[in-house]
């Protein structure tokens, strides 16, 4: 039996571990993509807790960077970047609930080389930006295309990296805000966290009736921090199962795999993202695993793991995790 039978999703979800209807949201069906996470649009699809979804996402450049000559500053039209599928309305979801998203698979779509990375002026972790504002001249703009298959990401003639896909941008609508799909926050969004991958279940605090799930920005793989700001961007076919947990109050995104539980924080400076993630992990250990607060704090000190998602987006994202084996999860 799969570990998922013991997941929060299976134990607490409305669907009680059962699989519901199958839905598809193709690129054509999506039609117009979205550039904000917000409540000011109509739902594109309505589903029930327990249903599964196949979604065709487009890449963070909306497919406009077709060759290494298509420089982002020429072919993109800010702020219309990082296009998102959705929103998907989940029946019965209201503020105070949690939306559970089990990621089943992610496959690359489109013509090869379908992976794209780039150096974009004033963007990235090792250059001056609009906020870490510098007088230095930007680096030259550059695009690099890569073949991406389940067999690997062909970085160069001599280097093929493992295919380790994940969803860069995934989350639910804020209650009254409509926030750029470039930004991560407590509702999810552009976390660029490699653990949001097949096999993981991600939990989001619902803010808006129907939750309004959005997703996009799949990556063939990414290093910790997404250093230059652009991972292996690709169009993808994503399969998800969605469920709803009633009355579970969580302050931000949580995540679960077979091996660990993780709390996610998004903030600047980076230590605040770490504080948010670890404080939530401490409190989760207290509420669900029987630890007294100082014991939970000690356990995180001796056994917590940190995964840096991004150090380039408007907020940096970082996950703090604990092995299930140590806490009886």
Sign of the Cα pseudo-torsion (276, 125, 218, 60, in order): positive
Among 254, 282, 285, 313, binds a second copy (CB under 8 A): 282
Instruction: Decide if residue 294 touches a second copy (CB under 8 A).
Output: yes
**What is the pairing mode between strands 254-256 and 260-267?**
antiparallel
**What is the pairing mode between strands 260-267 and 316-323?**
antiparallel
- Near a second copy by CB under 8 A, which window of 16-24, 31-39, 50-58, 106-114? 31-39
- Residues in the interface with a second copy (CB under 8 A) total 86
Among 26, 74, 79, 112, binds a second copy (CB under 8 A): 79
Instruction: Decide if residue 304 touches a second copy (CB under 8 A).
Output: yes
Residue with smaller CB distance to a second copy, 74 or 80: 80
Instruction: Decide if residue 289 touches a second copy (CB under 8 A).
Output: no
Is the preceding peptide bond at 269 cis, omega within 30 degrees of 0?
A: yes
> CA 47 from chain center: how many Å?
20
Among 67, 132, 249, 287, binds a second copy (CB under 8 A): 132
Q: How far apart are CA 72 and CA 201, in angstroms?
A: 33
- The total of other beta-carbon atoms located within 10 Å of residue 151's CB is 10
Q: Which residues pair with 161 in a beta bridge?
A: 153
Residues in region 38-77 near a second copy by CB under 8 A:
38, 40
Q: In angstroms, what is the minimal distance from the CB of 60 to a second copy?
A: 13
- Nearest residue to 86 via CA among 63, 107, 64, 57: 57
Q: Give the side-chain half-sphere CA count within 13 A for 240.
A: 32
Q: In angstroms, what is the minimal distance from the CB of 27 to a second copy?
A: 21
Residues in region 204-263 near a second copy by CB under 8 A:
221-232, 251
Instruction: Decide if residue 303 touches a second copy (CB under 8 A).
Output: yes
Q: In angstroms, what is the minimal distance from the CB of 203 to a second copy?
A: 18
Instruction: Decide if residue 271 touches a second copy (CB under 8 A).
Output: yes
Q: Which residues pair with 22 in a beta bridge?
A: 52
Q: In angstroms, what is the minimal distance from the CB of 94 to a second copy?
A: 16
Q: How far apart are CA 221 and CA 182, in angstroms?
A: 18
Instruction: Decide if residue 94 touches a second copy (CB under 8 A).
Output: no
Residue with smaller CB distance to a second copy, 101 or 320: 320
Helix H or strand E encompassing 283: helix 270-289
Length of the chain: 329
Site string for a second copy, 178-207 (x = CB under 8 A): xxx---------------------------
**What is the pairing mode between strands 201-205 and 160-161?**
unpaired
Instruction: Decide if residue 95 touches a second copy (CB under 8 A).
Output: no
Q: In angstroms, what is the minimal distance from the CB of 158 to a second copy?
A: 7
């Amino acid at each position: 039996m799969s570990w998922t039978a013991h997941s929060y999703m299976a134990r607490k979800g409305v669907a009680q571990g059962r699989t519901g209807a199958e839905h598809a949201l193709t690129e054509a069906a999506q039609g117009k993509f979205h550039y904000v996470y917000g409540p000011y649009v109509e739902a594109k699809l309505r589903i029930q807790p327990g249903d599964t979804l196949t979604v065709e996402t487009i890449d963070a450049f909306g497919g406009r960077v077709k060759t290494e000559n298509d420089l982002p500053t020429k072919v993109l039209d800010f702020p219309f970047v990082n296009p998102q599928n959705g929103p998907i309305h989940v029946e019965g979801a209201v503020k105070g609930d949690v939306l559970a998203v089990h990621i089943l698979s992610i496959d690359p779509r489109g013509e090869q080389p379908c992976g794209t990375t780039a150096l974009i002026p004033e963007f990235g972790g090792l250059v001056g930006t609009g906020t870490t504002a510098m007088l230095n001249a930007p680096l030259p703009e550059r695009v690099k295309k890569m073949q991406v298959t389940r067999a690997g990401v062909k970085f160069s003639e001599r280097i093929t990296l493992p295919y380790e896909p994940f969803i860069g941008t995934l989350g639910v609508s804020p209650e009254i805000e409509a926030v750029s799909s470039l930004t991560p926050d407590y509702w999810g969004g552009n976390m660029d966290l490699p653990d949001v991958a097949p096999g993981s279940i991600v939990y989001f605090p619902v803010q808006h009736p129907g939750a309004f799930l959005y997703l996009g920005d799949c990556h063939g793989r990414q290093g910790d921090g997404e250093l230059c700001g652009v991972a292996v961007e690709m169009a993808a076919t994503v399969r998800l199962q969605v469920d709803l947990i009633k009355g579970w109050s969580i302050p931000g995104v949580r995540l679960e795999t077979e091996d660990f539980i993780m709390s996610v924080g998004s903030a600047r400076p980076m230590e605040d993202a770490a504080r948010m993630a670890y404080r939530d992990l401490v409190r989760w250990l207290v509420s669900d695993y029987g630890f007294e607060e100082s014991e939970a704090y000690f356990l995180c000190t001796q056994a917590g793991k940190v995964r840096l998602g991004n150090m380039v987006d408007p907020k940096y994202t970082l996950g703090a995790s604990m092995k299930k084996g140590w806490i009886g999860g």
